[in-house]
């Protein structure tokens, strides 16, 4: 599976089978089904010769242990990657991946629709390293060629974009980047490896926020970086140089979540689509931003490149004063208001893309909400949202 030359064309097994069996070695764990939580810093060597040769699988706990390794093996199998590095958070996956391919004097293009802390890392950290971070229109596709400079070394894609849900034409971007040796990185958290195969569509480095769908229960942090053969050594080395360590406790919860990822995603997909389609019909709703709905402007790209959709979508409401929004959100009893997403519980939070966009200003007025659809009874979710919308509209 790990041919350095490239990515295998077809996963030898179905994803459900990979999720159930990948990364597990019961024979090494006294027959127990699951790899337990390994906690440890020191790893012992049996002889001076073993210490000198450094051939043991584990040398020091910071670089990983069997619990963290199983997560890397599962995600590698899912992505059809050369290998995967587990790191302590989704944001750490983004920063390590970017630092693995950028040096002082380089330039990186980041989608204008990226997760806000990704942008902040560009403007407040990379800039201090003498690396220019520029932001591009998420709809540029092959037109990104005109944005390239001689020192552009990486393009960072997130599809669909956080909060605004634009789909990016990854194959077209990769077709421009590949011949020039420019690395294409993608934050693939929304679709998971199940519904978007980023390496096969042209990415070099795929990032997942394990905190979201992999964990699935809002109780652990993690991030993964999966790469093709050419990008692997730099990612591994950057993680090691920066000293990031992921605990066996977090890795255990990520592995536990991954075992049920396929059935959870199928259910999230179904529920999010039903709720999004229904919200579209409600009075006071301007637009629903869900790439799997035919009303979405990038639906053709979604249909071409994705095999399914996630739990998260946007709802644009007609404008109303802040008090109306407070009445709506403060009175919701099932949708919680909080950062992150991917758990079994539904969430609804307002977002303000106009505050951060630079390449393509967000000009739509109205209130933008971001919904994550969990596993509550659908009728209960609809009733909660409809009552909230009534409070919102009453105050207009």
Ligand X SMILES: *Cc1c(COP(=O)(O)O)cnc(C)c1O
Contact 226, 199 (CB under 8 A): yes
| Structure-derived torsion over alpha carbons of residues 218, 221, 225, 226, reported in degrees to the nearest 10 | -50
- Return the closest-CA partner of residue 60 out of 45, 33, 41, 79: 41
Alpha-carbon span 77 to 83, nearest angstrom: 9
Q: Which listed range, 4-12, 84-92, 238-246, 271-279, lies at the site for ligand X (CB under 6 A)?
A: 84-92
Identify whether 343 is preceded by a cis peptide bond (ω within 30 of 0): no
Longest CA–CA separation in the chain, Å: 77
Q: Is 257 in the site for ligand X (CB under 6 A)?
A: no
Nearer to ligand X, 71 or 285 (CB): 71
Q: Which residue is nearest to ligand X (CB)?
A: 90
Q: Which listed range, 38-46, 207-215, 245-253, 286-294, lies at the site for ligand X (CB under 6 A)?
A: 207-215
Q: Which listed range, 13-21, 88-96, 249-257, 287-295, lies at the site for ligand X (CB under 6 A)?
A: 88-96
- Return the closest-CA partner of residue 273 out of 244, 304, 302: 302
- Marked catalytic residue, from 2, 4, 39, 62: 62
Mask of contacts with ligand X, 323-362, x by CB under 6 A?
-----------------x----------------------
Q: Is 115 in the site for ligand X (CB under 6 A)?
A: yes
CA–CA distance from 375 to each of 55, 279, 304, 348 (Å)? 46, 17, 28, 14
Q: Is 244 in the site for ligand X (CB under 6 A)?
A: no
Strands 205-209 and 223-227: antiparallel
Q: How many CB atoms lie within 10 A of CB 47?
A: 8
CA–CA distance from 204 to each of 35, 143, 228, 235 (Å)? 30, 20, 6, 11
Candidate residues 65, 152, 209, 311; the one interacting with ligand X per rule CB under 6 A: 209
Mask of contacts with ligand X, 131-170, x by CB under 6 A?
-------------------------------x--------
134 part of the active site? no
Q: Is 187 in the site for ligand X (CB under 6 A)?
A: yes
Q: How far is the CB of 111 from ligand X (least distance, A)?
A: 11
Contact 152, 107 (CB under 8 A): yes
62 part of the active site? yes
Alpha-carbon span 62 to 42, nearest angstrom: 9
Q: Is 68 in the site for ligand X (CB under 6 A)?
A: no
Q: What DSSP character marks residue 275?
A: H
187 part of the active site? yes
204 part of the active site? no
Candidate residues 77, 91, 176, 356; the one interacting with ligand X per rule CB under 6 A: 91
- Marked catalytic residue, from 106, 107, 112, 187: 187
Q: Which listed range, 85-93, 144-152, 347-355, 366-374, lies at the site for ligand X (CB under 6 A)?
A: 85-93
Strands 312-317 and 83-87: unpaired
- Marked catalytic residue, from 153, 212, 271, 357: 212
Q: Is 96 in the site for ligand X (CB under 6 A)?
A: no
List the catalytic residues: 62, 115, 187, 212
Residue ranges that bind ligand X, judged by CB under 6 A: 89-91, 115, 162, 187, 189, 209, 211-212, 221, 223, 340
């Amino acid at each position: 599976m790990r041919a350095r030359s490239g990515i295998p064309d077809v996963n030898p097994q179905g994803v459900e089978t990979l999720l159930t069996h990948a990364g597990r070695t019961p024979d090494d764990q006294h027959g127990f089904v699951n790899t337990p939580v390994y906690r440890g810093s020191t790893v012992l060597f049996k002889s001076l010769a073993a210490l000198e040769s450094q051939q043991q699988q584990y040398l020091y706990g910071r670089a990983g242990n069997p619990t963290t390794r199983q997560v890397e093996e599962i995600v590698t199998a899912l992505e059809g990657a050369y290998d995967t590095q587990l790191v302590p958070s989704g944001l750490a996956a983004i920063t390590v991946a970017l630092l693995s391919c950028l040096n002082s004097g380089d330039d990186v293009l980041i989608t204008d629709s990226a997760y806000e802390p990704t942008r902040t890392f560009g403007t407040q950290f990379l800039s201090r390293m003498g690396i220019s971070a520029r932001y591009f229109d998420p709809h540029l596709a092959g037109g990104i060629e005109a944005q390239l400079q001689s020192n552009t070394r990486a393009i960072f894609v997130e599809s669909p974009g956080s909060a605004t849900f634009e789909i990016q034409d990854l194959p077209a971007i990769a077709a421009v980047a590949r011949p020039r040796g420019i690395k294409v990185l993608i934050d693939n958290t929304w679709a998971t490896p199940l519904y978007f195969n980023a390496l096969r569509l042209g990415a070099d480095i795929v990032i997942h926020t394990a905190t979201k769908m992999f964990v699935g229960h809002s109780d652990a942090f993690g991030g993964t970086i999966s790469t093709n053969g050419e990008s692997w050594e730099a990612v591994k080395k950057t993680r090691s140089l920066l000293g990031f360590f992921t605990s066996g406790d977090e890795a255990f919860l990520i592995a536990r979540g991954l075992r049920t990822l396929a059935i959870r995603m199928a259910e999230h997909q179904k529920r999010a689509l039903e709720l999004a389609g229904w919200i579209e019909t409600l009075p006071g709703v301007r637009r629903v931003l869900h790439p799997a709905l035919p009303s979405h402007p990038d639906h053709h790209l979604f249909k071409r490149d994705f095999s399914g959709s996630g739990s998260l979508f946007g709802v644009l409401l007609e404008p109303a004063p802040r008090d109306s929004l407070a009445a709506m959100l403060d009175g919701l009893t099932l949708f919680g208001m909080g950062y992150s997403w991917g758990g079994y519980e539904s969430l609804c939070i307002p977002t303000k893309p106009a505050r951060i966009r630079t390449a393509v200003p967000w000009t739509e007025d109205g209130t933008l909400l971001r919904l994550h659809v969990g596993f509550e009874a659908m009728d209960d979710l609809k009733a909660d949202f409809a009552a909230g919308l009534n409070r919102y509209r009453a105050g207009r």
